Structure 1
Amino acid sequence: MADVMVAAMPFHGHAGPLAAVAGAFVAGGHRVRAYTGAAYESAFSAVGADVILWRSARDFDEHDPSGSYPELAGRRGPRQMLANVEHLFVRSGAGQCADLLEAWRGRPWDAVVADATSLGAAFAAERTGTAWVSVSTTPLALPSRRLPPPGLGIAPARNAAERARDAALRRAARSATRGIQRAYRDERTRAGLGPGRARFDEATASPDLVCAVGVPELEYPREDPTGRIVFVGELARRSPTPGPSPALPEWWSEVVRSAVPVVHVTQGTQNLDPSDLIAPTFAALGRQPVLVVATTGRPDAAPLPFPVPPNARVAGFVPHAALLPHVDVMITNGGWGGVLAALAHGVPLVVAGGDLDKPEAAARVAWAGAGIDLRTGRPRPRAILDAWRRVSRDAAIRGRSRELAARFAEHDGPAEVVAHTLALIDRVRARDRG
């Protein structure tokens, strides 16, 4: 039996996958604690983990992070991404580490299993000298000597001109992220660590084991050493968990019995302005022979500020496991968890990735041949209509989506993270004995 600390940043797309991992450890008879924000306490306690909440680290509401971090107010696009990384992810690192070290002093763990943006978990593993597994819940963001900088949504170079472009972008990215690197050094000092040899974008990935969600077909070819990276498919619970099942909307029978194709449009769980993607999708498909199922990402199910066409149905959330088997095409803002869920069900995608990691998700879907990248988070109705028509009719895209579903079916992500972690614990114990 292992004693494991699972750490997740308090975002839906991070906490959900890590809760599935925590549940798999519990099911295997291991002792599990989970460190996360208050909003996700119930997600981890429901799978049997003992929950430790952010205290020294400043907790926040993912739907309004500027309420706790005023530095983020009014930012979108690249400015939002840089500010989020610096203030939410980096400058909370020492506080997270303090919380985790307090837990360690009460009961040491055998391994920290943390989402790759949980900087405090990396610090705590370094302070305690324990095994550390980083779980990449977003498109793999490890820097590369040959690829474009992660986050820009640019596919690998195909010729000399594009290789020169990528080299210039890598230099520019180092300049643009100097503030983040300064913050990283400051947090290492606050956490009682030396300056370190790695940059922040390298230091958030475990040197021993990176469990990346997805499948290799969605990852760009790398010339860098990748032996520590394993792909684990989708991190979703495959068996029922304690507590009631998520409620389905009252119009659910219309989805199940629909005589026309079902198109799912989702605004994701961050930057929830429905005018970005839901409104233009309604304008594009409101007169088409489809049933549009829109999810706003808002748990309060607030009414939309614009008319809903007769062929559309709206909810805050609908469980992917229930919905996606009925979906013909998914139109998404590019949240990686939703993208992977769609591909795991063989559903082709139209992706409007505007900011954060979403342009990267959109570019990888297009690069893998499983959908269309609209190259904006605020597409025009005509662009959505044209993309939906192409995805609906293109046999190559639909076939590629089914191929990727077959690759996902080969994985049981949470169980694989458990197995890889236990193997790493054994290697660390053997190394310490030697």
Structure 2
Amino acid sequence: MSADAWTSVVTVVTLVSALSLAAWLWLLLARGFFWRTDVRLPAREEPDDWPSVCVVVPARDEAAVLPASLPSLLAQDYPGRAEVFLIDDGSTDGTGGLACELARRHEGLPLTVASPGEPPAGWTGKLWAVRHGIGLARAREPEYLLLTDADIAHAPDSLRALVSAAGTGGFDVVSQMARLRVESVWERLVVPAFVYFFAQLYPFRWIGGGRAGSGRGRATRTAAAAGGCVLLRADAAERARIPDAIRHAVIDDVALARAVKGTGGRVWLGLADRVDSVRPYPRLHDLWRMVSRSAYAQLRHNPLVLAGTVLGLALVYLVPPAAVLVGAATGQGTTAALGAAAWLVMAGTYLPMLRYYRQPLWLAPLLPFTAFLYLLMTVDSAVQHYRGRGAAWKGRTYARPDAVAEEGRAG
């Protein structure tokens, strides 16, 4: 490469690194302070008259985690009327029988175990199970529904804290992002970043900003929930036609929040203190499957959005370390300084999430490597989709939402 050509390359890298730094300054200051981890259950007062709650737990082949999660639901210290409905979604590992055995062993809330059969076309298995559970719960006329996954363990006061927060704040949805397990090397590297990226996409402060259509700014249009722990007001579920309106959604928690907010409901989402996932992801393969099964669905199966996402990830996360290396190799101090500044801001915004997960802070500078893994997972999700294996989970593969919509219109 000639000297002029190399100079041009360095100039381009310098300009791109400046753009990356500008992007990080915008993310730091104008993206709802997504990097902060202080959004926890809002101020709450316990009611004099506790509303009734039905807990719906969809479960498919969850015998491995159920002993660590279901007893925590049965042991809820809730002053009002509450009961648990575990919906066995075609398990082959004895999930339903184990749930009944655990209920016999542990005193607490009453448990009903039921099975809805195979989901019809246009439904994901989880939402078909949720529909069946909500149908059974409606016979009890509850004021609230708690939708929680089979791998989620709740502290004894979890339900009363959720209900108190919903009642005090006037929220139709109160959702907590369960603290995921972080024990293996790959979990330490990938899991905190997963929550960090989610918060970057859906800043928690924006989600609780107000009612949709209230004219209180862009924050009111941001909607998301964390499917592991969603307290939903029963009348809000009826208004939003949950889960029928989102029956095809692979990313069902975000779709639920959007549906509720779209009908004028109020949604709150934050990090959990005492709600934990007990599901292990010991290998990179396990985490890869967790992300890639729904990453392309998050991009609405749109190749142009995929291309933009890949370029965006590269600009924001990969350019800073590349600029440092190029600047150091060529003696271009400006290039290296711009890359280092962007990398420093990136690592600084990641520190609160590492603290939340009680992980060593030296992992912060490794975020570009983790982002590169997520970039590959996203591309792999698209590749698997076009091979007909996208959005696959526990033996099921789901169609694109637009295909389901076209099928519905044709019917």
The TM-score with structure 1 as length reference comes to 0.27
Q: Which has the larger radius of gyration?
A: 2
Question: Of the two structures, which has the highest relative contact order with CA contacts closer than 8 Å and spacing of 6 or more?
Answer: 2
TM-score in terms of structure 2 length = 0.28
